[in-house]
Amino acid sequence: MDKFQEMSAFAAVVDAGSFVRAADALDLSKTAVSRLVSDLETRLGTRLLHRTTRKLSLTEAGALFHDRCRQLLDGVAEAEAELSSHSGEAVGRLRINVPVTFGLMHLAPLWPAFMAQHPRVVLDVTLSDRFVDLVDEGYDLAVRIARLPASSLVSRQLTSTRMLLCASPQYLRAHGTPAQPEDLAQHALITYTLMASGEQWELQGPEGAVSVKVDPRMRTNNGDTCCAAALHHQGIIFQPSFMVAEHLASGALVQVLPRYRSADVGVYVVYPTRKHLTPKVRALIDFLAEALRAPAWRI
């Protein structure tokens, strides 16, 4: 059996987490995929996978071999993509890193349309709020919501958002509504721990910039958790418009100190280099730029 086919089947099983899902991804039967992996193990003379009725896991040898397989398979995909650049067709595996909440709320609905437009592109989307190293971790591009520092990466702004102070009407009826930024010290504040400014809320007001030192009632590294606490009347949050716009429109949340908000924060796509930009990367950048040109969360 072809070595490349065996390696592709093994990598697909590991990536998918099961023989059934790997078979679907490869458009093969489960029996065929199982046979390819078994033949590979026989040829190598070592077990690559621990198989139980509930889950699969890699052996030590399997983990090492999977890393090498993935590098080789990605290399083949890149070679094909480079050749396809002459025709301009988007082809190959596209590894993308996106923030968790933004990825779920605003990017997940876009992936099917992109796949329909580019049927020869295979998407590999990772949701994570940490800043991954695109080059070291093998990503083609990432979406980042930040004021970007200078770096060797290339970026293109897709749209923008801004941070807003919000609380539920019920919380404000029970505890009063702040009239000035310094009044926030008397309230239950719910903070996002991955914010670049830490526990300083940086606001732009009628008289200019204001910095509020925060003593939070609750801290969390997840914006959805902040919103959930606010929606259940537990305090005031400082979260991006892309996350709270829907709740503001419904009345579940209202703006606090509406004259005070953050400066615009860019939503960017970043990628390692402009040189030899493959059609698949260019296609996704252009697609996202058009899809996010006039977002509904603009406030």
- pLDDT tens-digit map of 60-72: 888 888 888 888 8
Beta-carbon count within 10 A of 298 CB: 12
Bridge-partner residues for 204, per DSSP? 209, 261
Residues 61 and 193 both lie in one domain: no
Q: Which of 79, 108, 140 is the last residue of a domain?
A: 79
Residues 200 and 141 both lie in one domain: no
Tokens of 283: 């296609």
Rg of the chain, C-alpha, whole Å: 24
Tokens of 299: 């406030």
Bridge-partner residues for 57, per DSSP? 50
Q: What is the DSSP string of 214-235?
A: ---SEEES-HHHHHHHHHTT--
Question: What pTM, to 2 d.p., does this model score?
Answer: 0.68
Q: Cα separation of 164 and 242, whole Å? A: 10
Q: Cα separation of 100 and 49, whole Å? A: 30
Query: 226 versus 137: which is more confidently predicted?
Result: 226
pLDDT beyond 70 at 149: no
State residue 94's pLDDT score: 93
Residues 91 and 156 both lie in one domain: yes
State residue 219's pLDDT score: 94
Residues 58 and 1 both lie in one domain: yes
Residues 172 and 295 both lie in one domain: no
For the domain that residue 151 is a member of, what is the CATH number?
A: 3.40.190.10
Q: Which of 79, 111, 141 is the last residue of a domain?
A: 79
pLDDT tens column, 20-47: 888 887 888 889 899 999 999 998 999 9
For the domain that residue 29 is a member of, what is the CATH number?
A: 1.10.10.10
Sign of the CA dihedral with 192 first, then 194, 198, and 200 last: negative
Residues ≥6 apart with Cβ < 8 Å to 60: none
With a pLDDT cut of 90, the percent of the chain lying above it is 50
State residue 272's pLDDT score: 83
Residues ≥6 apart with Cβ < 8 Å to 249: none
Do 131 and 213 meet the contact criterion of CB atoms below 8 Å apart? no
Count structural domains, the chain: 3
Residues 250 and 170 both lie in one domain: yes
SS3 (DSSP) at 203: strand
Residues 171 and 247 both lie in one domain: yes
Res. 3 pLDDT band, cuts 50 70 90: confident
**End-to-end alpha carbon distance in the chain:** 59
Residues ≥6 apart with Cβ < 8 Å to 228: none
Residues 211 and 285 both lie in one domain: no
Residues 45 and 183 both lie in one domain: no
pLDDT beyond 90 at 53: no
For the domain that residue 172 is a member of, what is the CATH number?
A: 3.40.190.290
Q: Which of 47, 79, 111 is the last residue of a domain?
A: 79
pLDDT beyond 80 at 98: yes
Residues 209 and 250 both lie in one domain: yes
Q: Domain range for residue 244?
A: 163-263
Residues 275 and 293 both lie in one domain: yes
State residue 227's pLDDT score: 96
Residues ≥6 apart with Cβ < 8 Å to 87: none
**Angle value at C-alpha 58, between 52 and 64, nearest 5 degrees:** 165
The mean pLDDT value for 109-113 works out to 96
pLDDT beyond 60 at 152: no
Residues 115 and 104 both lie in one domain: yes
pLDDT beyond 70 at 9: yes
The mean pLDDT value for 128-151 works out to 81
State residue 51's pLDDT score: 83
Q: Cα separation of 84 and 92, whole Å? A: 9
